[in-house]
Structure 1
Amino acid sequence: MRANEKTRRLTGLALMTAIIVVLQVVASFVKFGPFSITLALAPIIIGAALYGAGAGAWLGAVFGVVVLIACIAGWDYGGNVLFTANPLLTAALCIVKGAAAGFVSGLVFRCLSRRSPLGAAITAGIVCPVVNTGIFCAGLALFFYDTLVAWAGGSDLIYYIIFVLTGVNFLLELAINLVLSTVIVRVVGARKRS
């Protein structure tokens, strides 16, 4: 890789990292239910599309660290409850779900982008929140089952997870990514032309 290309990549990743930190700190104060909404998935997807799955994993991990800080600081009430119950598992869950979401969306984009850049962006935009939310829900069910049961308050756990705990947040995250899919295609196209 040429020095100029390395510099552009490093600068781009630094910019995406800063955007993710700002967006997620702001999002820590936007709540639908016990957890904050995620606004940082779009820059993760853009970074993964531009720089690859490894960059997506890095950006996702940065997002996870910011989420963890919100859990520790109490900005994210639900996350703070989890952190109080088990700090190590909460930290691992926050970072792993973000890194996996970025990594998988980068892989999906790379695999599909030759056939259809828009299809690749849309699919990556769907995969990112699905992986993020899926790992979160699986982690809750596996490691924080008692907390999950207490939150559900006697209602069916599957219903509670899908419709109460993650429903609105997930749908908003998915909608934001789908709307921004065309932007992702334009950004990637502009970078390839330069």
Structure 2
Amino acid sequence: MRASEKTRRLTGLALLTAIVAVLQVVATFIKFGPFPITLALAPIIIGAALFGPKAGAYLGGVFGFVVLLACIMGWDPGGSVLWNANPFLTAVICLGKGILAGLCAGAVYRRLSNTPMAGAILAGIVSPVVNTGLFCLCLTLLFHDILIAWAAGTEVVYYIIFVLTGINFLVELAVNLVLSTVIVRVVSARSHA
């Protein structure tokens, strides 16, 4: 890799790192249910599209770290409950779901890079599906008693789909789909630069 390309990559990743961190800190205080919304997926997808799956995984890790910090600091009440119950598993979940959401978005975009719009749209779908899906799966498998307590007698599957993640997931998905054209323009502009 040429020195100018390395510099461009480092600069781009530094800028996207800051954007991911700021967006997720702000999003920590926006809730449509018991957990904060995720606004940081779009810059993760942009980074994954521009710099590849490893960059997506890195940016997803930054997102996961900010989510974990919110759990530790008590900014995210639901995450704080999980942290107090088992800090190690909470850290694994926060970091793992973020890293895999970025990695998968990058892999999907790379696979479909010959059709950038399709790649951006599918990466925009895959990222929140992986993020939310892994969270729900881990919550069900690793924090089942807490999940049952939160459901408070409601059918668990209904609670997960319609209360715990429903609106958040739909907003995250909609934001990514709306921003797909922006992602394509950013990637296209970089390619022509």
Matches within 5 A, 1:126-137: 126-137=125-136
Query: Residues 56-80 of structure 1, C-alpha deviation per residue, up to 9 Å, x if partnerless?
Result: 0000000000000001111111100
Structure 1 residue 25 and structure 2 residue 16: aligned?
no
Q: Distance in 1 between matches of 2:157 and 2:49?
A: 33
Q: TM-score, with normalisation over the residues of structure 2?
A: 0.99
Q: Distance in 2 between matches of 1:133 and 1:72?
A: 20
SS at match of 1:180: helix
Query: Residues 112-134 of structure 1, C-alpha deviation per residue, up to 9 Å, x if partnerless?
Result: 121x1101100000000000000
**Deviation at 1:166?**
0.2
- The list of structure 1 runs, each at least 4 consecutive aligned residues, that deviate by more than 2 angstroms after superposition, is none
Query: Residues 21-80 of structure 1, C-alpha deviation per residue, up to 9 Å, x if partnerless?
Result: 000000011011110000000000000000000000000000000000001111111100
Opposite residue 120 of structure 1, the aligned amino acid is: G
- Specify the alignment match of 1:47 in structure 2: 47
Q: Distance in 2 between matches of 1:34 and 1:133?
A: 14
Structure 1 residue 68 and structure 2 residue 64: aligned?
no
- The alignment of Structure 1 onto Structure 2 pairs a total of residues equal to 193
- Specify the alignment match of 2:124 in structure 1: 125
Q: Distance in 1 between matches of 2:55 and 2:168?
A: 25
Q: Distance in 2 between matches of 1:52 and 1:119?
A: 16
- Specify the alignment match of 2:58 in structure 1: 58
- Specify the alignment match of 1:150 in structure 2: 149
Matches within 5 A, 1:80-159: 80-114=80-114, 116-159=115-158
**Deviation at 1:135?**
0.4
Opposite residue 165 of structure 1, the aligned amino acid is: L
**Deviation at 1:92?**
0.6
Unaligned runs of 5+ residues in structure 1 are none
**Deviation at 1:153?**
0.6
Q: Distance in 2 between matches of 1:7 and 1:174?
A: 32
- Specify the alignment match of 1:183 in structure 2: 182
Opposite residue 180 of structure 1, the aligned amino acid is: L
Q: Distance in 1 between matches of 2:48 and 2:24?
A: 17
Q: Distance in 1 between matches of 2:36 and 2:83?
A: 15
| Structural RMSD (CA) | 0.4
Q: TM-score, with normalisation over the residues of structure 1?
A: 0.99
SS at match of 2:61: helix
Q: Distance in 2 between matches of 1:96 and 1:53?
A: 15
Q: Distance in 2 between matches of 1:52 and 1:112?
A: 12
Q: Distance in 2 between matches of 1:103 and 1:153?
A: 35
